[in-house]
């Protein structure tokens, strides 16, 4: 495949979800990413990773010169409405991944029909519209056979069958479908695109796109109306909670780290990873964020996914991540025929981080269980066994080096954040002991917890640097140590902790965005919100508020954050939407609302 085609910036993409799969649509009306079976399945539209990997364009015909475009989500939903103003008139394109008919609230996504809906509504004048449909299943490997009728096309290749149904005549030509049509004020033209496996059941029955979009709006709105949040920045918190719901694989309760694979951390670089899986760290922080946003109805389902995915734990460290269906083996392979976003190679499917040892993970799970203990009610046997296994395992292995929370793929080290995570695991296990049954050993856990605390204070503090550093016996500042006050390891106003916070703000923060380390060129959005929370806990509410608002200004026009932010160009970098970025926004907004809040 080739490169050299103009690419939209990552921030130009809107996010659609049916709580099973995700699509990305550009401001100019091109669906450049859709994995219809589930979040981590192969794409049928993959142009975001290569110009020839499939797309579906729907927009005003002709050049963009003189055209003005505005877009917004419909209420508290992931239904996107884009208004195009042209010299001859204006139209609104509304698009969504369909909810199951009749689904409401937390039923959304349980049996979604895998249908992409798009409508064009004439608002004024008369606008010439154009659509170009070029599916390329299996991440662009396959060009489908087209079975054409005037208003219906079946595109079939390999394991995928796509049925496009349109309110206008369609023309087929060499693996593509075209149409141009006029839309006048008051006229509505609808399209629906239904996925089905080639050798499975038929696609969803034909939907009325207008009615199906209205159903989907109502399903999302009912979900959000049941979660009142009355703190500061309510619009931001609601938007981020909708995005987190959209990153949830509803059948299992898994939350994917992002909707995409291989969008680069640095343009032209090779740190391009697949984030369409459930990390236990992200799972824990997502539960924190949804607790703040009053979205706790699915707590038991989220925990059931984590516990069932893990199975019985042995002496080796707990796996850090799973597939959305609980799969353990997420072995990585390179899609070497794809050019990559902005020529950033390799493009990867799967993620070999599943093999890594990251010892903060048990602490994330035990912290979430402690926070939500009342919501979980009586712990069942599987949950008790898993939490006790995690605590016992932490006692046995905390002294080992690991890969750290940033998943470094080189030599293991004694990372400060990993040791603090081990302390969290044992501290929360001690507090949870009354819920954990006869195998609970709070005395043993407390002794190891206290030893970890002493060790971190002795070996992570660097007198020359005047701060806690990334690892034992290191001189390197790293934003990961900002977690220390957030988990109550040390108060933010402890002299050494406060010195560390100031050093990170001075050396790693630029215009509201914090880099993970001095060697990284881009800011990491999650760390930026960590710094906000640390400033709140230290009592500097004014500076925390200023930083929060500067960081929020880096979101795109739809309120979406990717993983990182280029401090020179202002471009979004990394996979998008990034769950941790939105989690950080919610948690720091909550702390700004109530600085005494602990979670």
Give CA 427 to chain center in angstroms.
29
pLDDT surpasses 70 at 523:
yes
DSSP letters spanning 162-226: EEEEESS--EEETTEEEEEEEEETT-EEEEEEEEEETTSSPPPPP--HHHHHHHHHHHHHHHHHT
Return d(Cα 409, Cα 398) in angstroms, integer: 20
Determine which of 4-18, 167-181, 293-307, 370-384 has the lowest per-residue pLDDT on average.
293-307
Taking CA 412 as the corner, what is the angle to CA 409 and CA 418, rounded to the nearest 5 degrees?
105
Helices (H), 538-576: 541-552
Return d(Cα 35, Cα 298) in angstroms, integer: 24
> What percent of the chain shows pLDDT beyond 70?
98
Mean pLDDT score of the chain, rounded to an integer? 94
> What percent of the chain shows pLDDT beyond 90?
85
If DSSP codes are grouped into helix, strand and coil, which group holds residue 577? Answer: coil
Cβ–Cβ under 8 Å, residues 477 and 467? yes
pLDDT of residue 480: 98
Return d(Cα 3, Cα 347) in angstroms, integer: 14
pLDDT of residue 280: 94
Instruction: For 200-246, write each residue's pLDDT tens digit.
Output: 877 878 899 999 999 999 999 988 887 788 899 999 999 999 999 99
pLDDT of residue 1: 52
Cis peptide bond N-terminal to 312, omega within 30: no
Determine which of 27-31, 251-255, 289-293, 472-476 has the lowest per-residue pLDDT on average.
289-293
Cβ–Cβ under 8 Å, residues 114 and 204? yes
pLDDT of residue 107: 61
pLDDT of residue 105: 56
pLDDT of residue 312: 85
Average pLDDT over residues 556-560: 98
Give the contacts of 88 (CB within 8 A, at least 6 positions apart): 125, 126, 127, 128
pLDDT of residue 83: 98
Average pLDDT over residues 6-14: 94
Determine which of 107-116, 285-294, 540-549 has the lowest per-residue pLDDT on average.
107-116
Return d(Cα 513, Cα 498) in angstroms, integer: 19
Tokens read off for 104: 């409401």
Q: In terms of Cα–Cα distance, which of 254, 243, 220, 255 is closest to 105?
A: 220
- DSSP one-letter code for 11: G
Residue linked to tokens 């981020």 = 240
pLDDT band at 591 (very low <50, low <70, confident <90, very high): very high
pLDDT band at 598 (very low <50, low <70, confident <90, very high): confident
Helices (H), 340-441: 361-371, 373-376, 381-397, 416-432
pLDDT surpasses 90 at 64:
no
Return d(Cα 494, Cα 500) in angstroms, integer: 10
Helices (H), 401-540: 416-432, 442-459, 483-486, 495-508, 525-537
pLDDT surpasses 90 at 296:
no
pLDDT of residue 2: 46
Q: In terms of Cα–Cα distance, which of 46, 52, 48 is closest to 1?
A: 52
Give the contacts of 77 (CB within 8 A, at least 6 positions apart): 96, 216, 217, 220, 221, 224, 242
Return d(Cα 82, Cα 96) in angstroms, integer: 12
Average pLDDT over residues 44-63: 97
Q: How far is CA 336 from CA 10, 12, 40, 44, 89, in A?
A: 21, 26, 18, 17, 44
pLDDT of residue 63: 82
- Domains of the chain (ranges, CATH numbers): 10-224 (2.70.98.50), 227-593 (1.50.10.10)
If DSSP codes are grouped into helix, strand and coil, which group holds residue 396? Answer: helix
pLDDT surpasses 90 at 361:
yes
pTM score, whole prediction: 0.96
Give the contacts of 366 (CB within 8 A, at least 6 positions apart): 387, 390, 391, 424, 425, 428, 429, 432
Tokens read off for 560: 């979406």
pLDDT surpasses 80 at 103:
no
Number of Cβ within a 10 Å radius of residue 399: 14
Give the contacts of 143 (CB within 8 A, at least 6 positions apart): 136, 157, 175
Return d(Cα 276, Cα 329) in angstroms, integer: 14
């Amino acid at each position: 495949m080739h490169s050299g085609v103009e690419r939209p910036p990552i921030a130009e993409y809107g996010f659609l979800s049916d709580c099973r799969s995700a699509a990305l649509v550009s401001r100019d009306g091109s669906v450049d990413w859709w994995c219809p079976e589930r979040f981590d399945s192969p794409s049928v539209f993959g142009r975001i990773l290569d110009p020839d990997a499939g797309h579906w364009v729907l927009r005003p015909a002709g050049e963009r010169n003189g055209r003005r475009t505005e877009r917004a989500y419909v209420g508290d939903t992931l239904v996107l409405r884009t208004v195009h103003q042209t010299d001859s008139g204006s139209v609104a394109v509304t698009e969504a991944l369909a909810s199951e008919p009749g689904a409401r609230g937390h039923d959304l996504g349980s049996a979604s029909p895998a249908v992409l809906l798009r409508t064009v509504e004439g608002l004024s004048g008369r606008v010439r519209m154009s659509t170009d449909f070029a599916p390329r299943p299996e991440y662009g490997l396959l060009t489908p056979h087209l079975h054409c009728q005037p208003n219906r096309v079946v595109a079939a290749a390999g394991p995928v069958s796509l049925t496009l149904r349109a309110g206008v005549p369609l023309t087929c030509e060499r693996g593509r479908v075209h149409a141009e049509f006029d839309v006048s004020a008051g006229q509505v033209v609808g399209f629906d695109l239904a996925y089905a496996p080639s050798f499975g059941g038929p696609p969803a029955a034909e939907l009325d796109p207008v009615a199906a979009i209205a159903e989907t709006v109502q399903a999302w709105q009912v979900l959000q109306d049941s979660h009142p949040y009355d703190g500061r920045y309510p619009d931001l918190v609601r938007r981020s909670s909708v995005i987190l719901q959209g990153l949830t694989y509803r059948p299992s309760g898994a939350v994917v780290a992002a909707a995409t694979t291989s969008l680069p951390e640095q343009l032209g670089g090779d740190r391009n990873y697949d984030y369409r899986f459930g990390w236990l760290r992200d799972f824990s922080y997502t539960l924190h964020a949804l607790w703040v946003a009053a979205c706790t109805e699915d707590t038991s389902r989220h925990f059931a996914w984590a516990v069932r995915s893990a199975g019985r734990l042995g002496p080796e460290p707990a796996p850090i991540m799973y597939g959305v269906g609980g799969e353990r083996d997420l072995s990585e392979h390179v899609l070497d025929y794809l050019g990559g976003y902005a020529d950033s190679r390799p493009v990867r499917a799967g993620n070999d981080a599943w093999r890594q040892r990251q010892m903060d993970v048990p602490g994330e799970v035990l912290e979430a269980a402690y926070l939500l203990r009342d919501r979980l009610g009586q712990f069942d046997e599987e949950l008790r066994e898993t939490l006790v296994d995690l605590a016992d395992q932490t006692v046995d292995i905390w002294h080992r080096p690991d890969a750290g929370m940033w998943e470094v793929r080189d030599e293991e080290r004694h990372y400060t954040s990993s040791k603090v995570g081990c302390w969290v695991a044992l501290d929360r296990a001690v507090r949870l002991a009354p819920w954990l049954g006869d195998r609970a050993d709070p005395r043993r856990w407390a002794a190891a917890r206290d030893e970890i605390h002493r060790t971190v204070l002795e070996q992570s503090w660097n007198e020359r640097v005047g701060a806690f550093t990334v690892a034992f016996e290191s001189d390197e500042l790293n934003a990961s140590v900002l977690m220390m006050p957030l988990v109550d390891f040390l108060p933010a106003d402890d002299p050494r902790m406060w010195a560390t916070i100031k050093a990170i703000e001075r050396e790693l923060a630029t215009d509201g965005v914090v880099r993970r380390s001095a060697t990284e060129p881009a800011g990491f959005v999650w760390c930026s919100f960590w710094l906000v929370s640390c400033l709140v806990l230290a009592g500097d509410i004014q500076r925390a508020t200023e930083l929060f608002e500067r960081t929020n200004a880096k979101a795109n026009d739809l309120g979406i954050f990717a993983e990182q932010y280029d401090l020179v160009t202002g471009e979004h970098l990394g996979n998008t939407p990034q769950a941790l970025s939105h989690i950080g926004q919610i948690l720091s907004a909550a702390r700004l609302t109530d600085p005494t809040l602990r979670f």
